[in-house]
Structure 1
Amino acid sequence: MNRFFVSNDIIDGNSIIIQDKDDIKHIKNVLRLKENDKIEISNGNDNEYIVKIDNITNEYIKTTVIEKMNIKRESDINITLYQGFPKSSKMDMIIQKVTELGVKKIVPIITDRTVVKINNKKKEEKKLERFKKIVVEASKQSKRGIIPEVSQVINLNQAIENIKLANDFLIVPYESENEIGIKDILSKTKEKDISIIIGPEGGFSKEEIDKLQNIGANIVSLGPRILRTETAGIALISIIMYELGDVGVI
């Protein structure tokens, strides 16, 4: 069943009105749904509704709640991904997949070896607008309870300050680390607020790793094979979710 998100303040008893223009176009023109068809609606806070479409117009879609459910789809593990900005459209795929896996926040970052340089504010805003659309679509498809946040692009120093303020448990995979594995680190923690930083195609410089170690980052190996930047975050998040108990039967 197709899922859509609405803000909690437009849920009025047994009536929910969809007002988002993109959702209306998708329901009308792509899915070609009609009156009496059913859809799922989430309020972004673990409450889900099965609703029946009553009325479809160009301005709104009126629905009636058939069933209200409280299903825990969101993990207790709060992962923030700081992703070194990759080339071409790799970021689109990364954002889509980590949303499916359950991250709560995605922060694109610029590091010493980042090839992509974003100096134009309009181009940055266009990219962020696209990223947010990808997150929404991936959240619908994977039946997330929330839509993860996508942050503005920042540099590594700003990321470090954010992590220090949040006091998150920080994990950084690094290809030159050959003693400490990710499983070693996860077996010794029960932390639920976790930040991970993934380097761009060229990896991290030694100076950047030193900076991260100075704020208590756990520098880890992901194994003997070198993973691409678009693979590393997905692999690490999957491991974290499995090792800390999020992957299993609902």
Structure 2
Amino acid sequence: MNRFFVDRKNIIGDQKLIVLDDPEDVKHIIKVLRLAEEDILEVCDGEKGIYIGEILSLSKTKIELKILEKFLSDTEPPIEVTLFQGMPKGTKMEIIIQKCTELGIHSIIPLNTARTVVQLKDKKDEVKKIERWQKIAEEAAKQSKRGVIPQIGLPINFSQLRDVLPLFDLVIIPYEKETVLGLKTLLKEQMSPKKIAVIIGPEGGFEETEIEIAKELGSMSISLGKRILRTETAGFVVLSTLMYELGDLGGI
């Protein structure tokens, strides 16, 4: 069954009614799926609430559904992982967002570091990029049956990590020069962290001073093995391992 996301304001509980008015969703339902009155859709409110609805009416601007059933999503992992991703070149960020959404990421924040090559031109360009990335996260959330849409934050500078890292139970920063602590060992030593931050560098990696600053802020510098991983691969590896060890990847 196809899943669509709506804002909570579009769910009129006392009338048992849902209004889908996103132009792309309306077009997709009518033109691509070719659904009609009395067909059934699955709708998510982005807060783990799932609704099964029967189409009452369709127009070019909106689709109205009668709520038949409501329940809570069981597809969200028990941990919240935020990825601070060093800004990569090309379309790599889009791939990172798509795949991390499928794996259960909670949020992704683009990170400017000393070796970041990609720079968004101005505030307008920044907002445009975030809107596109957020849409990619939404589409991936639909496809993977997520109960929430991961939020893509505005880019921050490395120095701003001082303000946000204290909010997490565990902060992980993979570093190719780390030779002592591995991710496997680290997770064995942790007492069930619920809010986890993962910091990934850009193509050129981190400068040593950035690693030292991260450690001062409580980050755990880890090795991901003897091979050097690309920036678009490292986040997947850490997130997959976290979801397997602490989340729900792999089932019961």
Range class of TM-score, shorter chain? over 0.9
Q: Which residue of 2 aligns with 1:210?
A: 212
CA deviations over 1:121-162 (Å, ceiling 9, x no partner) = 221111111101101101101111011111001111112321
Q: CA RMSD in A?
A: 1.4
| Contiguous gaps of at least 5 residues in structure 1 | none
Q: Which residue of 2 aligns with 1:225?
A: 227
CA contact (8 A) 1:110 1:156 kept: yes
CA distance in 2, matches of 1:22, 1:160: 39
Q: Which residue of 2 aligns with 1:127?
A: 129
- Tell me whether 1:12 sits opposite 2:12 in the alignment: yes
Q: Which residue of 2 aligns with 1:182?
A: 183
Give runs of aligned pairs for residues 79-118 of structure 1, distance below 5 A: 79-118=81-120
Question: What fraction of aligned residue pairs are identical, expressed as a percent?
Answer: 47
CA deviations over 1:186-216 (Å, ceiling 9, x no partner) = 1111111100100000000001001001111
Runs of 4+ in 1 over 3 A off after TM superposition: none
SS in 2 for 1:187: helix
CA contact (8 A) 2:77 2:247 kept: no
Amino acid at match of 1:230: E
CA deviations over 1:209-248 (Å, ceiling 9, x no partner) = 0100111110001111111000000110000011114224
CA distance in 2, matches of 1:171, 1:249: 24
Q: Which residue of 2 aligns with 1:141?
A: 143
Amino acid at match of 1:109: L
SS in 2 for 1:137: helix
Q: Which residue of 2 aligns with 1:170?
A: 171
CA distance in 2, matches of 1:239, 1:246: 11
SS in 1 for 2:189: coil
TM-score scaled by structure 1? 0.95
Amino acid at match of 1:10: N
TM-score scaled by structure 2? 0.94
Q: Which residue of 2 aligns with 1:37?
A: 39
4-13 vs 206-215, which deviates more?
Answer: 4-13
Q: Which residue of 2 aligns with 1:73?
A: 75
Could you tell me how far 1:86 is from its partner in structure 2?
0.2
CA distance in 1, matches of 2:127, 2:11: 31
How many residue pairs end up in the alignment? Answer: 249
Amino acid at match of 1:3: R
Could you tell me how far 1:63 is from its partner in structure 2?
0.9
